[in-house]
C-alpha cells in the first residue's frame, strides 16, 4: 500500500508522515530530503545550477541510496551518510532551482519508485499523489497558515542565528511560488486527495486524524 502525503514547506507533512508510518508499521520515504541531497551535491562541487549540461554530467556520477532501518530514514550520497546535513540556508535557497530540472526529477522519481516496490510505505513530497504515485491507495494534501509554517520551519533549524523570521517567510513564499509554477510536476493538490489543514492541530492530532481516516475506511 502507498500513502501519498503532499504539501508545502512547513505544513507538517514530514513529521506527520514519519509518525504515521511508524504507527502503521510502514516504511517512510522523505522525497524532499532526496532533492536536498542533490542540491548539497551540486553546491559541494561548485556547480552552476543554470548550467544544464554540467548538471547532467554530474548526475551520472552521483550515487544516491536510501535506507530505512529501525524507524530511521537515511540518505547516503556517494557512500556518505548526509541525512543530518540537509537543513541549512544554502540548501534552502537553492533546492527549488535544482528540483525544477527535468533530469534531476526523472532520476529522483525512478529512485523513489524502485525504493517503494512491494512495500507498505508512506511517501511525502510535493508531487507524490499527482505524479510519482498517481494510483496511491490514499492521498492527503497537508496545508497550514503561512505564519504557522514559518514558525515550524524556524524551530526545525539547528542554527537560527543566520536568518530572521521575516527572511524565512520570504524564502518560504518564494519556494511556494517556484514549486507551484514550475513546468515539471508542480506542487498542486491531486483531485482525489483529502485536504488536512494543520494550522490549529498538534502533530499528534494530525497523525491521529489521518490514521483514523485510513484505518476506519
Dihedral sign for Cα 4, 31, 48, 85, please.
Answer: positive
Element (H, E) at 125: strand 121-125
Residue 27 forms beta bridges with which residues?
A: 121
Instruction: Render pLDDT for 12-69 as a digit per residue (tens, 0 to 9).
Output: 888 899 999 999 999 999 898 999 999 999 999 999 988 888 998 899 889 999 888 8
Residue 213's SS3 state is helix
What's the pLDDT score for residue 161?
67
- For the chain, domains (ranges, CATH) are 2-212 (3.40.50.300)
Below-50 pLDDT ranges, the chain: none
Amino acid at each position: 500500500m502507498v500513502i501519498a502525503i503532499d504539501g508545502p514547506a512547513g505544513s507538517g507533512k514530514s513529521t506527520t508522515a514519519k509518525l504515521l508510518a511508524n504507527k502503521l508499521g510502514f516504511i517512510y520515504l522523505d522525497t524532499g530530503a532526496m532533492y536536498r541531497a542533490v542540491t548539497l551535491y551540486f553546491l559541494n562541487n561548485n556547480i552552476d545550477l543554470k548550467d544544464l549540461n554540467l548538471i547532467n554530467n554530474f548526475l551520472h556520477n552521483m550515487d544516491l541510496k536510501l535506507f530505512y532501518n529501525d524507524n530511521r530514514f537515511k540518505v547516503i550520497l556517494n557512500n556518505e551518510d548526509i541525512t543530518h546535513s540537509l537543513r541549512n540556508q544554502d540548501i534552502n535557497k537553492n533546492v527549488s532551482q535544482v528540483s525544477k530540472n527535468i533530469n534531476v526529477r526523472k532520476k529522483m522519481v525512478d529512485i523513489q519508485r524502485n525504493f517503494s516496490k512491494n512495500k507498505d510505505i508512506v511517501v511525502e513530497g510535493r508531487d507524490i499523489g499527482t505524479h510519482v504515485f498517481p494510483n496511491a491507495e490514499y492521498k492527503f494534501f497537508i496545508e497550514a497558515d503561512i505564519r504557522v509554517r514559518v514558525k515550524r520551519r524556524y524551530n526545525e533549524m539547528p542554527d537560527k542565528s543566520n536568518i530572521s523570521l521575516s527572511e524565512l517567510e520570504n524564502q518560504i513564499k518564494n519556494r511556494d511560488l517556484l514549486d507551484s509554477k514550475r513546468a515539471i510536476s508542480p506542487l498542486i493538490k491531486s483531485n482525489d486527495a483529502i485536504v488536512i489543514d494543520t494550522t490549529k492541530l498538534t502533530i499528534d492530532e494530525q497523525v491521529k486524524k489521518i490514521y483514523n481516516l485510513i484505518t476506519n475506511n
